[in-house]
Amino acid sequence: MRLVRIPAGSFQMGSPDLETGRNSDEGPVHTVTLSSDFYLGETEVTQAQWLALAGINPASGYGVGNDYPVYDVSWNDIASATGFLAELNALGKGIFRLPSEAEWEYACRGGTTTRFSFGDSLGCPDDCTDCAAGSETGNRSDYMWYCWSGGPDGSPVASLPVASLLPNPFGLYDMHGNLWEWCQDGYHDSFVGAPNDGSAWENFADHLKVYRGGSWNYSAASCRSANRNKNLPTLRSPRLGFRLVLTP
Ligand SMILES: [Ca+2]
Ligand SMILES: [Ca+2]
């Protein structure tokens, strides 16, 4: 598993009121300071990585192969006391965990304040249309799998192999799109009262859990850096995977 060292720093978490495509749970914008560097998976956890540890590949029907991201894994499958992380950490190779929501957004933004880490992409609709080539800082489809964006033959597709598009400024792949990514946090419908030190905002065990970044069958707007989604920790979905943090 390749990890990227994410430098300590401060950022503005959430989206401003006037951001195009924004949802009300993305505010208020607040300063978060991460006081230590941390390591984040360069990609979503792959099916080969899950298989190597768990002995089965739960993914089927929506992109299958060693380099595809693993999906159909619930928050509990990953982070419960008997989940993937417990098994991984028992190997003695370091303590891995899910990112906090703040760590995830900080890493996704990579120092940017725009809607996406590659720009605002305002010159084209927020649905399933890409920007015209050369009209924006970056074509969205150069950076993210969204809206059934096409495979080699242009046909509708599911998830795609990790790291097959361009990375963000931190060198992370697929922070926008491909699969949504589970975070450690319980869901709260605003950031009023949220921690400002980058730690996860936990809640009671069966509370909705947060996931971030949009996916292969969601709109472009859903893949914005500040967008949030949530579901029960038991949900398994072909749109939903994760990546890992290693704390030094
Ligand atoms: Ca993703
Ligand atoms: Ca949302």
- Give 78-97 as a DSSP string: HHSTTSHHHHHHTTTS--EE
pLDDT for 155 equals: 46
Measured in degrees and rounded to the nearest 5, phi and psi for residue 221 equal -60, -30
Instruction: Read off the pLDDT of residues 36-86 as tens digits, 9 standing for 90 and up.
Output: 999 999 999 999 999 999 999 999 999 999 999 999 999 999 999 999 999
Instruction: Read off the pLDDT of residues 233-246 as tens digits, 9 standing for 90 and up.
Output: 999 999 999 999 99
Ligand at minimal distance from the CA of 172 is 1
**Which amino acid is located at 103 in the chain?**
E
- The helix (H) or strand (E) run that includes residue 39 is strand 38-41
What distance in angstroms lies between residue 100's CA and the mean position of ligand 1's atoms?
15
- Map residue 47 onto helix, strand or coil: helix
Sheet with 3-6: list strands edge to edge: 3-6, 38-41, 245-246, 96-97
pLDDT for 203 equals: 78
pLDDT for 82 equals: 95
Measured in degrees and rounded to the nearest 5, phi and psi for residue 27 equal -140, 180
What distance in angstroms lies between residue 113's CA and the mean position of ligand 2's atoms?
18
Residue range 93-100: mean pLDDT, rounded: 96
Residue range 191-195: mean pLDDT, rounded: 96
What distance in angstroms lies between residue 177's CA and the mean position of ligand 1's atoms?
5
What distance in angstroms lies between residue 196's CA and the mean position of ligand 1's atoms?
24
What distance in angstroms lies between residue 43's CA and the mean position of ligand 1's atoms?
8
What distance in angstroms lies between residue 1's CA and the mean position of ligand 1's atoms?
16
Ligand at minimal distance from the CA of 178 is 1
Percent of the chain with pLDDT over 90: 79
**pLDDT > 60? residue 153:** no
Cβ partners under 8 Å of residue 53, min gap 6: 84, 87, 88
Tell me the pLDDT band of 161, cut-offs 50, 70 and 90.
very high
Ligand at minimal distance from the CA of 160 is 1
Distance of alpha carbon 122 from alpha carbon 129, whole angstroms: 12
**pLDDT > 90? residue 223:** yes
**pLDDT > 90? residue 115:** yes
**pLDDT > 70? residue 154:** no
pLDDT for 192 equals: 96
* Lowest-pLDDT range of 82-91, 128-137, 160-169, 206-215: 128-137
What distance in angstroms lies between residue 180's CA and the mean position of ligand 1's atoms?
5
